[in-house]
Structure 1
Amino acid sequence: MAKMAAISSVVKLFNPQVVSQTGQTCTASIIFLHGSGDTGLGIKEWTKSVMGREIAFPHIRVIYPTAPMRPYTPMMGNPSTVWFDRKQISPFVPEDESVPDMCEKLSALIDQEVKNGIALNRIIVGGFSMGGCAALHIAYRYRPTIAGVFGLSCFLNENSDVYKH
């Protein structure tokens, strides 16, 4: 029961924008993570402007979560909607210690989809910029049995833990 409460509270934390499947049955999910300083609504609207229509499928739900506000060092510690902190915008610094916590919290969104009847091998996680980096961490370090991962214009630090996995 505690795990379900934890899932529910984390899902609320991310305030996801959801595009439901266009057909009657949902059999797969895509979780699309935004870049630093953006929101789920922002990346949803961006994809719509690029595609000329909303990303929608007969049997796939598309979820656009929003990162919680947190202090962001590259912005002089001012709060921003970022998935994790970075000490510098450089690939040559260690990954921040906030990366694992973010991956665990985002994994709760995957758990919610599984609770909703979607198999892990029918869930894709991806993102743009920092969201793509977060997706790579989730897929390779925390959820290697998901269906796939994508990253658009994203990055990994030179000594990223992702390379070890």
Structure 2
Amino acid sequence: MQLVKKTINPTGGKHSATVIFFHGSGDTGSNLVEWVRFLLGRDLDFPHIKLIYPTAPLQPYTPLNGELSNVWFDRRSITIDAKENRKSLASIYETVHELINEEEKLGIPPERIIVGGFSMGGALALHTAYHLNTDLAGVFACSSFLNRDSIVYDSLKNRTKPGTDLPELKMFHGSRDLMVPSSWGQESYDELTKLGVKGQFSLLQNTLHELKKRELLDIQEWISVKLPPLTNDLQNKL
């Protein structure tokens, strides 16, 4: 599946790391870029990191009575108790693999790639880092959750390399989120940590189902630590 992608190229030219930022349901990559710019007053950019904002395919979405929407996968309903639509998820997995493989072909190894997202995009990021590719550098999820029967949990329980470190996790959730209650995000985080994930869950006070400037700044700082510039010798090998 060919995705429309909005890319923010590194200010220093050639990139040595990549961040893939998935938007929420019904949105687009370009709109997410504009939202970030509105909150920060600038792009979320780094001198050595490429940022990719893909747009989800247009497809029928059950919570909207089957209307077409830009969504990463279909849901039976927006609740933590709902069964995952694993057939729909499997379709977008192929697309995510393509995104990561494209970066690997450019010389960016998985341990120099971070995935993240808002709402449904955050859920896809969790699937990406803990079901599809546990070699990634990290994952961030904003206002997101996993269904209680998620294949992500099954994957972590049946890991073939249980002694290796999993991607570090940063989760954020608004205390006043009415669309995705913070308890869903907290429960998802707690389940992940029980299965070996290490990270941090931050509850944002007086915050609805939205991104906030302070969480973007926190994410930016964290990305800078997880994906520092390479030495000249390592950079020349990319």
Matched, 1:151 2:141: yes
RMSD (Å) for aligned C-alpha atoms:
0.9
**1:24, distance to aligned residue in structure 2 (A):** 2.5
Distance 1:34 1:24 in 2: 25
Distance 1:83 1:98 in 2: 8
- SS of the counterpart of 2:141? strand
**1:134, distance to aligned residue in structure 2 (A):** 0.4
**AA aligned opposite 2:122:** G
* Identical aligned residues as a percent: 48
Tell me the equivalent position of 1:118. 108
Tell me the equivalent position of 1:25. 14
Which 4+ stretches in 1 moved above 2 angstroms?
A: none
Distance 2:114 2:124 in 1: 13
- SS of the counterpart of 1:113? helix
Matched, 1:74 2:63: yes
Question: What per-residue deviation string (whole Å, max 9, x for no partner) do you get for residues 42-74 of structure 1?
Answer: 111111111121011100000000001000001
Matched, 1:140 2:130: yes
Distance 1:113 1:80 in 2: 27
**AA aligned opposite 2:45:** A
Distance 2:98 2:63 in 1: 27
Matched, 1:65 2:45: no
Normalised by the length of structure 2, the TM-score is 0.63
Which 5+ residue runs of structure 1 have no aligned equivalent? Answer: 1-9
- The 5 Å alignment of 1:81-100 reads 81-96=70-85, 97-100=87-90
Tell me the equivalent position of 1:103. 93
In structure 2, which of residues 131, 151, 163 is the aligned counterpart of residue 161 of structure 1? 151
**1:112, distance to aligned residue in structure 2 (A):** 0.3
Distance 1:85 1:112 in 2: 25
Which 5+ residue runs of structure 2 have no aligned equivalent? Answer: 157-238
Q: Which has the higher contact order (CA 8 A, sep 6+)?
A: 1
Tell me the equivalent position of 2:29. 40
Normalised by the length of structure 1, the TM-score is 0.90
